[in-house]
Amino acid sequence: MITAVSNPRVKQVVLWQTKAKERKEAGVFLVEGFKMFEEAPMEWIREVYISTDALAKVTENREYISIKKKLDQVVFEEVSAEVFRKMSDTQTPQGILCVVKRPSYGIEDLLASENPMLVVLENLQDPGNVGTIVRTGEGAGVTGVILSEGSVDIYNPKTIRATMGSIYRVPVVYAGNLVEVTELLRKRNIKSYAAHLAGEKYYNECDLRTGCAFLIGNEGNGLTEELAAAADEYLKIPMEGQVESLNAAIATSLLMYEAHRQRG
């Protein structure tokens, strides 16, 4: 059992929690909590750490039987409560943390399905927004999410928490030039829609039954002029009162679920 916060493995986990560069170089990300552990694909799991209290809870309570069965299939390290608090990124940790291998996707993986539904995010900075979009995207049936390189790290611990497990199932790809991405989509007969105040059509007036991609801009500044100009069409969301725009995750959710509705 690890009882010292000075342990090299503990220090390494703390680095992965706080440094995107360290996570990227190691090709890993971290997940916390029983649900995230239970849903993690076995072949992705690299290391598991569980606090003494959490291990006792899992061992003694039948409600955790599925967690116990999975723990029996992996090599895990028991750590003291103090050490786990040092390793954890949450205010009230559940006591289990996994080091998980990053999946590897390319844009072609996202285009392989028939009539894909994609979300293209430009320079989004809020981890909660991006994580919520990934989670809602799974519910709405998106094929994948494409992020600009200026966006938040999808493997930021806060982003991972917001996905609530959808990070395991929704392909996410970073792209250096989103304008070039829209050109590629056009060649594949995938229509790109910019969520934009200058839109003349409401989102429910667009035919979203065929391949489509929603372009969503930065929380404060919206889409850059360059990417907006590259879109095939602008669309807008009806606004009442004095509201000018919606939160990026909420706006994206409306668009994705309208596509889901149209596709039946």
On whether both 259 and 174 belong to a single domain, the answer is yes
**pLDDT reported for residue 199:** 78
* CA proximity to 175, closest of 184, 166, 188: 184
Q: For the chain, give the percent of residues with pLDDT over 90.
A: 90
On whether both 117 and 84 belong to a single domain, the answer is no
How much is the mean pLDDT over the chain? 95
pLDDT tens track for 210-241: 999 999 999 888 899 999 999 999 998 888 88
pLDDT tier at 49 (50, 70, 90 boundaries)? very high
On whether both 148 and 255 belong to a single domain, the answer is yes
pLDDT tens track for 118-157: 999 999 999 999 999 999 999 999 999 999 999 999 999 9
Looking at the DSSP bridge assignments, the partners of residue 114 are none
Q: How far is CA 233 from CA 105, 106, 193, 201, in A?
A: 27, 25, 5, 9
Whether the per-residue pLDDT at 85 is higher than 90: the answer is: yes
Whether the per-residue pLDDT at 197 is higher than 80: the answer is: no
**Residue 57: inside a domain:** yes
**Residue 42: inside a domain:** yes
pLDDT tier at 196 (50, 70, 90 boundaries)? confident
Last residue of a domain, one of 101, 123, 147: 101
**Residue 1: inside a domain:** no
**Residue 133: inside a domain:** yes
**Structural domain total, the chain:** 2
**pLDDT reported for residue 155:** 96
For residues 86-100, b (16+ Cβ closer than 10 Å) or e, as one string? bbbbeeebbbbbbbb
On whether both 121 and 248 belong to a single domain, the answer is yes
Amino acid, single-letter form, for residue 225: E
Please measure the distance between the N-terminal and C-terminal CA atoms of the chain and give it in whole angstroms. 53
pLDDT tier at 81 (50, 70, 90 boundaries)? very high
